[in-house]
Amino acid sequence: MTQSPTLSRRSSSSASPQPRKSRRRGADARAGYTFLLPWLLGFIALTVGPMISSLYLSFTNYNLFEAPKWIGLDNYTTLLQDERFLQSVGVTLNYVIFGTPLKLAAALAIAMLLNSKRKGQGFYRSAFYAPSLIGASVSIAIVWKAMFGDSGPVDQGLSFFGINLGGWVGNPSMTMPMMILLTVWQFGAPMVIFLAGLKQIPADLYEAASMDGAGPVRKFLNITWPMLSPVIFFNLLMETIHAFQIFASAYIISNGEGGPAGSTLFYTLYLYLRGFSDFRMGYASAMAWLLVVVVGIITLIFFKTSKSWVHYSGDSK
């Protein structure tokens, strides 16, 4: 999906000077689009089409059974007065703001450990990546629920140290830390990307810095961080967007209810309940579009601020 703009740019920008070459370029583009066609058809039928219809539905009172009736902005204005909606926004923001940086920090820390030359690194890399392979699955959420339940391993382990929290699952103030731990534990995907980024930083930079007497902190701040900043930026963006979409684990851990006391009522879970339990598809569509817009705005803000801290090779700063 990353190919289409590159292709179109090439075919349009370099068309004028030499007609013969442009004909060949035109044929190239045609071939390109032909290869693209299967994906493009799927994209239009399965993504763009449903999106447009969901945009339309968000202005209706569609309830799955009866023909949708246009109600203008009603869904959007109701949203702002819906206390459970506001609660779900709070829960989700909490999760994004605390969960994402922690996860990235864990991913970067492990990636740096795995970047050094040591025996058996291949094994460690696979071992640390493993949680991410199974992490998004239903079974892990079930295991998590059992681990953090009353007299589960976590409860027992903590009481060994004299900390008696009881089960986390039933305690509204402990469910968020539990959910954040679950996402932090799945640091594998950003870790692999960090690792790839770290490998590309030329070793002579570190050598030169050592020569100048720079310690590890200094090296991290002045070499690793700026050299890695595009990768950090990429991971931050992807993980933030991911975090906004958390659904499956919350659904399973709370039995699909968002409890206890609404503490795991994540945005998408509430959206799902509104749509599929309460049959308010119009309302759910409005929620979905609000999420798209908000995620879009946050992405935009990220891009704007990135200029001041993300460094690309070839940039003058």
Partner 1 sequence: MFDRRKFLTTVALGTASAAFLSACGQSSSAGQTGSAENPVTINYTWWGNDDRAERTRKAIALFESKNPDVKVNGNFTDFAGYWQKRATEAAGGGLPDVMQWDLSYLRDYGQRNQLLDLSTVKINTDAFDKSLLPSGQIRGKTYGIPTSTNAFAVYYDPAKLQSMGVAEPDGQWTYKEFNAFMLEVGQKGNGALYGGTDYTGVWWMYNIWLRQNNIQAFTDDGKLGFTKDDLKKWWNTTAELRGTPALVPEERVTQLAPKSAMGSNVTASEVTWDNFMAGYLGDSGAKELKLVPVPSDDPDNLGLFLKPSMLMVASAKTKYKDAAARFIDFMVNDPEVGQIFKTSRGVPASKTQRDGTTFEGTDKLVVDYEKSIEKYLKDAPEPPIVGFGTLEASFKRVSSELNYGKLTLDGAADAWFKEAEDLIKQNA
Amino acid identity at 213: G
Q: Does 38 bind partner 1 (CB under 8 A)?
A: no
Q: Which is nearer to partner 1, 35 or 312 (CB)?
A: 312
Rounded Cα distance, 81 and 59, in Å:
17
Candidate list 244, 250, 266, 269; residue touching partner 1; CB under 8 A: 244
Rounded Cα distance, 234 and 225, in Å:
13
Amino acid identity at 120: G
Candidate list 276, 301, 305, 309; residue touching partner 1; CB under 8 A: 276
Tokens of 41: 């058809």
Q: Which is nearer to partner 1, 158 or 241 (CB)?
A: 241
Rounded Cα distance, 183 and 258, in Å:
17
Candidate list 166, 176, 209, 225; residue touching partner 1; CB under 8 A: 166
From 30-38, 118-126, 186-194, 292-300, span contacting partner 1 (CB under 8 A): 292-300
Tokens of 151: 């007299």
Site size toward partner 1 (CB under 8 A) is: 66
Q: Does 68 bind partner 1 (CB under 8 A)?
A: no
Smallest gap from Cβ 115 to partner 1, in A, equals: 15
Q: Is the separation of the CB atoms in 191 and 128 below 8 Å? A: yes
Q: Which is nearer to partner 1, 1 or 80 (CB)?
A: 1
Computed on alpha carbons and rounded to an integer, the radius of gyration of the chain in Å comes to 24
Amino acid identity at 283: Y
Q: How many CB atoms lie within 10 A of CB 21?
A: 11
SS (H, E, C) 90-104: HHHHHHHHHHHHHHH
Candidate list 11, 22, 61, 132; residue touching partner 1; CB under 8 A: 61
Q: Does 291 bind partner 1 (CB under 8 A)?
A: yes
Q: In which region does residue 272 sit, left (phi positive, over 0), alpha (psi from -120 to 50) or beta (all else)?
A: alpha
Candidate list 66, 164, 212, 316; residue touching partner 1; CB under 8 A: 66
Q: Does 12 bind partner 1 (CB under 8 A)?
A: no
Matching residue, tokens 């239903």: 138
Interface with partner 1 (CB under 8 A): 1-2, 5-6, 46-47, 50-51, 54, 61, 63-66, 78, 83, 149-150, 166-167, 169-172, 200-201, 227, 230-231, 233-234, 237-238, 241-242, 244-245, 255-257, 259-262, 268, 275-281, 284-285, 288-289, 291-292, 295-296, 299, 303, 312-315
